[in-house]
């Protein structure tokens, strides 16, 4: 029995929208992986379904948390906003079409950020960098079947969503669940798919916007319960 580990059920989303329908193990990219297990979005896919992939973080997760003791997937320490990520993907991905991308890149600390319209400076906890990482992935020629992309729009309004959505929609990707939210209503992620690559008929009929992660996953589980 699979013991899912994601904090907000991202791995369950991947399992029900894609993994349980595949005839062979999938491939993932875990960008902003943090710990090898315990809240990790790809650990359950690797451990229970034999998925493989590449993991990335700006911190030295190998030295600090012994990634290779818990995982078979390869860890790379890299600033994912730089060309270094693109080069690693070009040189280490055998196939540029992957099954799942977990894109969760932010940095801690307190930052002073000026509103470009009002000029008012706000103090923000942490910075979200997904809009700077996504181009690095696409520049490597990578495509995917599903992705969970953190944007924290409750902090950043459309600063992250506008560029990431525009780029992905132009490439034919669709948000199955848009503005996935916490129970308090704060929207923090988009869950993307390439509909023609998802082996579930009429999958876009369950599109939701602004629903909690529990509502999204529960809807998906019910919709696909007879598909596997």
**Per-residue pLDDT tens digits for 134-162:** 999 999 999 999 999 999 999 888 989 99
pLDDT at position 9 over 50: yes
Tell me what pLDDT residue 226 has: 79
Residue 5 domain-assigned?
A: no
Question: Please, which residues have CB within 8 angstroms of residue 75's CB and are 6 or more apart in sequence?
Answer: 33, 36, 55, 56, 57, 61, 62, 67, 68
Q: Is position 2 within any domain?
A: no
Instruction: Identify whether 41 is part of a domain.
Output: yes
Confidence band for 109, pLDDT divided at 50, 70 and 90: very low
Taking residues 194-218, report their average pLDDT: 98
Which residues span the domain enclosing 30?
10-224
The verdict on residue 110 lying in a domain is yes
Q: Is residue 1 part of a domain?
A: no
Residues 6+ apart with CB under 8 A from 54: 28, 29, 30, 73, 74, 76, 88, 89, 92, 93
In a domain, 137, yes or no: yes
Give the pLDDT confidence score for residue 35 in this predicted structure: 95
If one counts the domains in the chain, the total is 1
Please tell me the pTM assigned to this model. 0.92
CATH number of the domain enclosing 159? 3.40.50.150
> How much is the average pLDDT of 189-212?
98
Q: Mean per-residue pLDDT for 195-221?
A: 98
- Is 118 within a domain? yes
The mean predicted confidence, pLDDT, of the chain is 92
In 129-210, at which residue ranges do the beta strands (DSSP E only) sit? 143-150, 174-181, 187-193, 208-209
Distance CA 117, CA 197 (A): 41
């Amino acid at each position: 029995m699979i013991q899912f580990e994601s904090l907000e059920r991202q791995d369950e989303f991947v399992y029900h929208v894609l993994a349980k329908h595949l005839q062979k193990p999938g491939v993932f990219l875990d960008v902003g992986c943090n710990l090898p297990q315990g809240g990790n979005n790809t650990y359950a896919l690797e451990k229970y379904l034999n998925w493989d992939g590449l993991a990335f973080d700006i911190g030295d997760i190998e030295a600090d948390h012994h990634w290779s003791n818990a995982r078979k997937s390869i860890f790379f320490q890299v600033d994912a906003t730089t060309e270094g990520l693109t080069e690693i993907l070009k040189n280490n991905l055998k196939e540029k079409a992957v099954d799942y991308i977990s894109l969760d890149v932010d940095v801690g600390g307190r930052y002073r950020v000026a509103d470009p319209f009002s000029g008012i400076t706000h103090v923000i906890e942490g910075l979200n960098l997904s809009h700077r990482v996504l181009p690095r992935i696409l520049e490597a020629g990578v495509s995917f079947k599903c992705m969970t992309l953190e944007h924290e729009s409750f902090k950043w309004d459309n600063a992250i969503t506008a560029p990431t959505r525009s780029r992905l929609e132009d490439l034919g990707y669709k948000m199955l669940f848009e503005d996935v939210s916490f129970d308090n209503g704060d929207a923090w992620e988009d869950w993307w798919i390439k509909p023609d690559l998802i082996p579930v008929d009429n999958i876009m009929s369950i599109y939701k916007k602004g629903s909690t992660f529990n509502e999204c996953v529960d809807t998906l589980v019910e919709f696909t319960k007879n598909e596997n």
